[in-house]
Structures are given as C-alpha cells and as structure tokens.
C-alpha cells in the first residue's frame, strides 16, 4: 500500500507554473491581477450520494472538477487553479490513474492547474472535495442579486437529461437502454459553461448554474434580487428523450431536476442580439424562457398560459436519497 506522499508523487504531480507554487509547501501561493478579485468555490462529492459506487473513475475525476468549474462559469470568472481533497477506503493503480486522467482532462482544457490538496484513507466511502479559484473583474461579475425587472431569463443547453439518467440508474424510473444511452453523458460528463460565462460579462446582469434544478436556482436569483419571474413551460429547451415522458415526469425533470451544469442568466431586452450572437459563436444553444417581473414569486405558465399550481420538488443534497 502506497503512502499519502507516494499517491501525490505518483498521480498528482504534473507540472505547474512555478509562480503559483504548487504542491510541496503548507499552502499554495496564488497571485491575483490588480483590480481583480479571486472567485472561490468548493463542493463536496460523496459516494452513494453524488455518484454511484461503481462509477467510471475517469468520469468521476472529470465530474469532480466540472461541477466546481461550473460555479466559476456562473460568475463569469476565468479559472486560475484548483485543489483536490481525496479520501479513498482502498485504491488500485488502474482506478486512481483513470481518476487522475479524468481530472487532468479538465485541468488541461481550462488551464486550471492542480496546486495542492490532501489525500487520506477513508473508512468506507470515497470522498471528494474540490476547491476552485478563478479571477473576475468585480464590477462585471455575474451576481445573483443583479437581476432587473423586465430582464429576459435565458438558459443554456437543454434541461432534463442528467436528471432522467440519474432516476433510471437509481431505479426510480424503469431503465430504457436507448434513453440511458442518450442521457447519461449529461449526468456523468457535464461540460462547465466557462466560455459562456466569460462571454456574458458586460451583457448579462445575473447568472447561476442550475445544479439544484431550475426552479430552485432561479429562485435564488429572485430572492437575492428582490424580484419575481414568469417563465413559460413551452419555451423550455429539453432533450428529445424528455419530450417523450409523461407530463408530470417531464415537469419534475425539467423544472426540478438537478445535477445540471447549464447557466440560467438574466439580461436586458436590448441585449438579445448580442446574446444570440454569443450562442452562435460558442455553438451553445441559448433559449429565452421568460421574464423578470416586479411582483415577487416564480410563476410557470403552461401551454394555455395558465399558471401551473403543482410545481415539482426541487433538488436538495440534504434530503434522504430516493
């Protein structure tokens, strides 16, 4: 059995720009450009809670960093560096090398070097804790409290695929092989919308990633901006498979389904053309789904423009697993 130091030496020692002072001291020392702020975020991912025990380690390494980078994307921050806490009850060379490869695939893609962390033996479950650092101009950062009455509400990508895959894999919904094939990529290998977040600086007012589901996360923007919203169900972009679901499941999945790393953002009506241009340039589907209004609360209209009264539960990491 290798020791903690062997693990770091063997798997997590790829070159880092020395100006960041990577592994090998009590702290890493980050530089911040003048006039910028450091955006920091951390997420805990636990076996049996956020991923299945038999998860592909490459995909797990990818996702552990992706979900954290998504928080930078939601503020329009540029990645600077990341740290990894890794608790393993046991490990094999093959497993940890695949995990490291998945993790480093995003380190490399987004130039977000791994500068330190902590590895330890856990009692029973795999424990992952990632902290990411990004840089953003304070005046432009996409904050949750900046939505303005009459703003358009936009969403990137499509809703529902990750949630559907998760429900099939957990046994909550009957597994259909073709549906799973079509949706599990969204669950297991989400792409953080970093390019989009950066492109929205100066265009969008507020943004959030919908990792806890559209209703809940848009709700955070509304609460913190002290505004309300009306969204139209017929406008929601959804994966083709989701359109085949019974209406209640479809609503649960599109409005309440979490584990989705798309951006929900708001922007003035005058910015529509600029934002559509960004979508085309980045090849990301961007859809207007509603409007910010003065009256507080979140209203969802159905196809007949009637308010949907029974809105689905939102995702909550602290609920009992289904």
Closest approach, Cβ 14 to a second copy, in A, equals 18
Closest approach, Cβ 181 to a second copy, in A, equals 28
Q: Tokens at residue 237, please?
A: 């972009």
Nearer to a second copy, 77 or 300 (CB): 77
Beta strands 228-232 and 297-301 are parallel
Residue 17: closest CA among 81, 68, 101, 103:
81
Q: Tokens at residue 292, please?
A: 């910010």
Closest approach, Cβ 44 to a second copy, in A, equals 4
Q: Please give the DSSP secondary-structure letter assigned to residue 19.
A: G
DSSP helix/strand/coil, 63? helix
CA 101 to chain CA centroid, Å, is 20
Nearer to a second copy, 41 or 254 (CB): 41
Residue 190: closest CA among 105, 126, 265, 283:
105
Nearer to a second copy, 17 or 138 (CB): 138
Nearby residues of 54 by Cβ (< 8 Å), 6 or more positions away: none
Look-up of token digits 């329009």: 76
The number of residues in the chain equals 322
Nearer to a second copy, 54 or 178 (CB): 54
Binding site per annotation, positions: 26, 41, 43, 50, 71, 117-118, 144, 209, 211-212, 259, 315
Closest approach, Cβ 102 to a second copy, in A, equals 19
DSSP helix/strand/coil, 228? strand
Nearer to a second copy, 216 or 249 (CB): 216
Partners of residue 135 on adjacent β-strands: 38, 78
Closest approach, Cβ 101 to a second copy, in A, equals 21
Closest approach, Cβ 191 to a second copy, in A, equals 16
Q: What is the CA angle 166-221-242, rounded to 5?
A: 30
Binding site per annotation, positions for ATP: 117-118, 144, 211
Closest approach, Cβ 74 to a second copy, in A, equals 4
Nearer to a second copy, 117 or 185 (CB): 117
Q: Where are the beta strands (DSSP E) in 146-248?
A: 152-156, 204-209, 228-232
Nearer to a second copy, 51 or 179 (CB): 51
CA 245 to chain CA centroid, Å, is 24
Dist CA 302 CA 160 (whole Å): 17
> How does DSSP assign 235-264, residue by residue?
G--B-TTGGGS-HHHHHIIIII--S--PEE
Binding site per annotation, positions for Mg(2+): 26, 41, 43, 71, 118, 209, 212
Q: Please give the DSSP secondary-structure letter assigned to residue 112.
A: -
Nearer to a second copy, 116 or 256 (CB): 116
Q: Tokens at residue 127, please?
A: 């424990």
Closest approach, Cβ 166 to a second copy, in A, equals 15
Binding site per annotation, positions for substrate: 50, 259, 315
């Amino acid at each position: 059995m290798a020791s903690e130091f062997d693990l770091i030496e063997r798997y997590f020692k790829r070159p880092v720009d020395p100006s960041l002072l990577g592994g090998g001291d009590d702290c890493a020392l980050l530089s911040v450009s003048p006039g910028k702020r450091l955006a920091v975020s951390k997420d805990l991912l636990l076996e049996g809670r956020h991923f299945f025990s038999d998860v592909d380690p490459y995909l797990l390494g990818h996702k552990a960093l992706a979900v954290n980078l998504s928080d930078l994307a939601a503020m329009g921050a540029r990645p600077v560096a990341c740290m990894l806490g890794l608790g393993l009850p046991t490990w094999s060379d093959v497993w940890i090398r695949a995990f490291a490869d998945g993790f480093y695939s995003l380190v490399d893609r987004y130039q977000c070097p791994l500068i330190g962390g902590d590895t330890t033996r856990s009692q029973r479950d795999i424990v992952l804790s990632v902290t990411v650092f990004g840089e953003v101009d304070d005046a432009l950062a996409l904050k949750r409290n900046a939505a303005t009455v009459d703003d358009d509400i936009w969403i990137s990508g499509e809703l529902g695929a990750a949630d559907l895959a998760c429900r099939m894999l957990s046994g909550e919904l009957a597994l259909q092989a073709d549906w799973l094939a079509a949706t599990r990529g969204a669950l297991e290998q989400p792409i953080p919308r970093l390019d989009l977040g950066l492109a929205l600086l100066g265009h969008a007012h507020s943004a959030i990633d919908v990792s806890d589901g559209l209703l809940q996360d848009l709700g955070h923007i509304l609460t913190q901006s002290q505004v309300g919203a009306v969204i139209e169900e017929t406008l929601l972009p959804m994966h083709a498979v989701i359109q085949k679901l019974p209406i209640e499941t479809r609503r649960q999945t599109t409005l309440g389904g979490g584990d989705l790393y798309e951006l929900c953002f708001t922007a003035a009506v005058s910015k529509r053309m600029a934002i559509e241009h960004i979508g085309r340039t980045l090849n990301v589907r961007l859809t207007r789904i509603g409007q910010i209004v003065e009256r507080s609360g979140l209203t969802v209209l159905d196809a007949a423009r009637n308010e949907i009264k029974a809105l689905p539960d939102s995702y909550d990491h602290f609920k009992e697993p289904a």
